[in-house]
Structure 1
């Protein structure tokens, strides 16, 4: 008997349920049956049955005041289980703690996914003025320190595939919007081993990041320090923060089996 492709085993109802859960992303907190019906191109009765099933298992809950639906605690638990199971994060936590103790600025561990950088964990500074936590956020790689660290070690062909348009979106006056100028910046990052976000995504915020490698020598993430630009002048970056973040990234890489 011929072996079937895995796509032939897909259960449509399960696929629709996952499609529904994926509608709650970014700034989308709540959605009603009508809006979900439009997005999923399904009849309202089918959407309601999917919602009822997911609600019974805790993956969706209804806001009784608005009658709209939002993600339930079970979705959070599932995501947290995934994060805890990642060896990268288990190893990163004590290093982030030590990094914040050394500079008292907010520190992250992040990964690269489909042209974006995704922040997986954070240890925050205890200072009143701080950068808003970005855990779980997907941000454009080309204007973040953690993202540029990943792009810096890619080939021109890989970068062109990820950034197909020559003119990139400018978030601030400091964003690298020309792809060729960005590539020049990335070559410099690859030579020096760290990247700086000089208010390229958010005005008033600077970041510095260094790559994390595993036993295959592949870059699997980045360690970064973020803070208000008034606390991260060039002198402090050069003297304190760059050595701290590069040492932390090297330490974490060693724990993941990387050897120079």
Structure 2
């Protein structure tokens, strides 16, 4: 590969890294983006200017912060429905939200993280707000345990033996929890990741017989006691069974 081509590829990689910064936050400053991808601010500014000219990034003059532009949305609208469970399963998620009154989310596993690809917010005044695109580790939370429990054995082993394992979480206890999830068909979390929040999650098994996503319901602990989470697990299982018929 010649030098000009290397420079072009590097510029593309850096531009993509900038776009990926917005999977964690919706509004970012130049300094925050530069720090996140470990590049000099002058380099990041040049790339941001190009992305802004093409409509992939927009800048708020009042705050000097950047956010994703309309072009990103236009691209997402052309993703085939059959390959986008977040779009395909949205009506069923809305029905589940209306039935139980809490926030409903859908997650996919990406390596050793889970990504929220769809969310339907609770209509209650005090509610669990779920941001689409958020990435969370597989080591904590109801949806994480579901995705890890139904992952291939080699993925589980690599996860459990990883050097980045959080010291506060006991590996053996976590491995035992994954076995419990497979046996019960659901996972719960009670203030595991956030104080005051509780959740229950189940796998959505596609027509192929493999897990297609994790379906979760979350809300404040004063409405989702441990007994309530177990009760709602049965409702989520029913909804997930119907959803599984709609995905490959």
Do they fold alike, i.e. is TM over 0.5? Answer: yes
Query: Which one of 156, 161, 167 corresponds to residue 158 of structure 2?
Result: 161
CA RMSD of aligned residues (A): 3.1
Match of 2:108 in 1: 111
Equivalent position SS for 2:87: helix
**1:245 to 2:240 alignment:** no
Segment of structure 1 superposing worse, 11-20 or 178-187: 11-20
Aligned length: 243
Q: Structure 2 CA distance, aligned partners of 1:199 and 1:92?
A: 27
1:179/1:252 CA distance change after superposition, 3 Å: same
2:187 to 183, 191, 195: 195
Q: Distance in 2 between matches of 1:205 and 1:236?
A: 13
The offset of 1:37, in angstroms, is: 9.4
Q: How does 1:84-103 map to 2 (within 5 A)?
A: 86-103=83-100
The Cα shift of 1:134 comes to 2.8
Check whether the contact 2:30–2:44 (CA below 8 A) recurs between aligned residues. Answer: no
- 1:134 equivalenced with 2:125 (yes/no): no
Hey, what does 1:17 align to over in structure 2? 15
Query: Is 1:120–1:136's contact at 8 Å kept on the other side of the alignment?
Result: yes
The aligned counterpart of 1:3 is none
Listed as ranges, the gaps of 5+ residues in structure 1 are: 1-6, 171-176
Q: In structure 1, what is the equivalent of residue 68 of structure 2? A: 71
The 8 Å contact of residues 81 and 87 in structure 2, kept in 1 or not, is answered as yes
1:151 to 145, 148, 160: 148
Work out which of the two has the higher radius of gyration on C-alpha atoms and give 1 or 2: 1
**Do the aligned partners of residues 65 and 103 (structure 1) sit closer, same or farther apart at CA in structure 2, a change above 3 Å counting?**
closer
How much does 1:165 deviate? 4.0
Q: Do the aligned residues in 2 keep the contact of 1:110 with 1:222 (CA within 8 Å)? A: yes
SS at match of 1:110: strand
Which residue matches 1:32? 30
Give the unaligned 5+ runs of structure 2: none
Name the structure 2 match of 1:222. Answer: 214
SS in 1 for 2:29: coil
Give the alignment's TM-score, normalised by structure 1.
0.79
CA distance in structure 2 between the partners assigned to 1:153 and 1:232 by the alignment: 25
In the other structure, the counterpart of 1:184 is: 176
How big is each residue's C-alpha offset from its partner over 1:215-247, in whole Å with a ceiling of 9 and x where there is no partner?
2211120111101111112332333x1111111
Aligned position for 1:173: none
